[in-house]
C-alpha cells in the first residue's frame, strides 16, 4: 500500500491526491488477489457467454439463413457486442458495488468517515475498475477469437481504443450514480444496481441494432452511453472507420462524461450525508 502522510492528504497539490487515489487501486488489487477464485469464475462465464452468443451467427450460416458475407459480419457484430458488454459490466460492477464491498469487508465506517475526499476515493475505484475490466476483456478476447474465422485487417484500432478510453468516463459516472443505491438501501441496493445494468443491456444494442426496439424503448438508447460506445467500436473495427468518421460518437461520449462524472459525484455526496445522518453506514451480515 502506498505510504501517505497527513500533509499529503490535506494538500491541494495533485501529486498527493493522485498517490491517495492510487492507494485505493492497490487496496482493490489486493482484494482481487484474495478473491482470485471469483475472478476465475467470472472469466469462465465471460468466455462461455461470448462463445454461446457468437455461435448463433455460425448456426445462421450452416442453416442457409444468411449468406457467407452476412455471417462474417454477424460474427463480428456479436463478438464485439459481447466483448464490449464484458468490459462495461465489469466497470459497472467494480464501481457501483464499492459500498457493498466496504460493507462486506467491514470497513465502510472507516472508509467513509476517514478524512479523504470522496472524489479521490471514487477516482481510485474508477481507475481500478477500468484497469480490471481491460485485463479481463483482453483475456476473453484472446481465448474466444480463435474459435471463429474473423478478418480484422481493416480495423482502425486507434479509433477503437479512443472510443473505449473516452467511453469509460460516462460509464464510470453512471456506475457512481448506481453506487448510490447500495448506500441508500443496505439490504437490496446491490440488486437494484444490477437492474440499472439490465436496462443498459436492453436499450443499447449489445446483441442487436437498436432499430429493432419499439419506438418508445429506442428513446432510452439515445441517453445510454453504451449505445455510442458500441456504435463507435463497430464502426472502427468492422467498418475500419477512423476518428474523423466516428467523431459524433466521440463527441456524445465526451458530453456524457462531462455531465455524468461530476453529476454522479454530487449525487453520491448528498446520499452519503443522508446515510451518515440516518445510520445507514453499518455492516450487514
Residue 284 pLDDT: 55
Tens of pLDDT along 264-285?
A: 999 999 998 888 888 777 655 5
d(C-alpha 3, C-alpha 209), whole Å: 49
pLDDT for residue 2: 46
Q: In this model, does residue 7 exceed pLDDT 80?
A: no
pLDDT tens digits for range 64-98: 888 888 898 999 999 999 999 999 999 998 888 87
Q: What is the pLDDT of residue 252?
A: 97
pLDDT at 229 exceeding the cut of 50: yes
- The pLDDT of 233-241, averaged and rounded, is 95
C-alpha cell at 54: 457468437
Four-residue CA torsion sign, 259, 265, 271, 277:
negative
* DSSP secondary structure string for all residues of 159-184: HHHHHHHHHHHHHHHHHHHHTHHHHH
Amino acid at each position: 500500500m502506498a505510504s501517505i502522510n497527513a500533509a499529503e492528504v490535506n494538500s491541494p497539490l495533485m501529486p498527493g491526491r493522485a498517490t491517495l487515489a492510487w492507494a485505493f487501486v492497490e487496496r482493490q488489487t489486493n482484494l482481487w488477489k484474495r478473491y482470485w477464485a471469483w475472478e476465475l469464475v467470472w472469466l469462465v462465464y465471460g468466455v462461455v457467454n461470448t462463445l454461446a452468443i457468437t455461435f448463433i451467427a455460425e448456426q445462421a450460416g450452416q442453416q442457409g439463413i444468411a449468406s457467407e458475407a452476412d455471417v462474417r459480419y454477424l460474427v463480428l457484430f456479436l463478438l464485439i457486442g459481447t466483448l464490449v458488454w464484458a468490459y462495461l459490466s465489469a466497470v459497472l460492477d467494480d464501481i457501483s458495488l464499492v459500498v457493498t464491498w466496504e460493507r462486506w469487508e467491514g470497513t465502510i465506517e472507516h472508509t467513509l468517515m476517514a478524512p479523504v475526499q470522496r472524489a479521490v476515493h471514487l477516482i481510485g475505484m474508477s481507475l481500478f475498475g477500468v484497469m480490471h475490466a481491460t485485463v479481463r476483456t483482453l483475456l476473453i478476447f484472446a481465448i474466444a477469437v480463435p474459435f471463429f474465422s474473423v478478418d480484422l485487417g481493416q480495423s482502425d484500432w486507434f479509433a477503437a481504443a479512443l472510443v473505449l478510453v473516452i467511453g469509460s468516463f460516462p460509464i464510470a459516472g453512471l456506475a457512481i450514480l448506481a453506487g448510490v443505491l447500495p448506500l441508500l438501501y443496505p439490504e437490496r441496493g446491490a440488486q437494484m444496481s444490477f437492474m440499472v445494468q439490465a436496462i443498459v443491456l436492453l436499450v443499447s444494442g449489445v446483441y442487436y441494432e437498436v432499430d429493432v426496439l419499439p419506438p418508445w424503448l429506442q428513446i432510452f438508447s439515445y441517453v445510454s452511453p453504451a449505445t455510442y460506445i458500441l456504435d463507435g467500436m463497430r464502426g472502427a473495427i468492422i467498418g475500419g472507420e477512423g476518428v474523423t468518421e466516428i467523431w459524433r460518437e466521440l463527441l456524445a461520449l465526451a458530453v456524457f462524461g462531462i455531465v455524468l462524472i461530476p453529476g454522479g459525484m454530487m449525487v453520491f455526496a448528498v446520499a452519503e450525508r443522508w446515510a451518515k445522518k440516518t445510520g445507514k453506514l453499518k455492516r450487514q451480515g
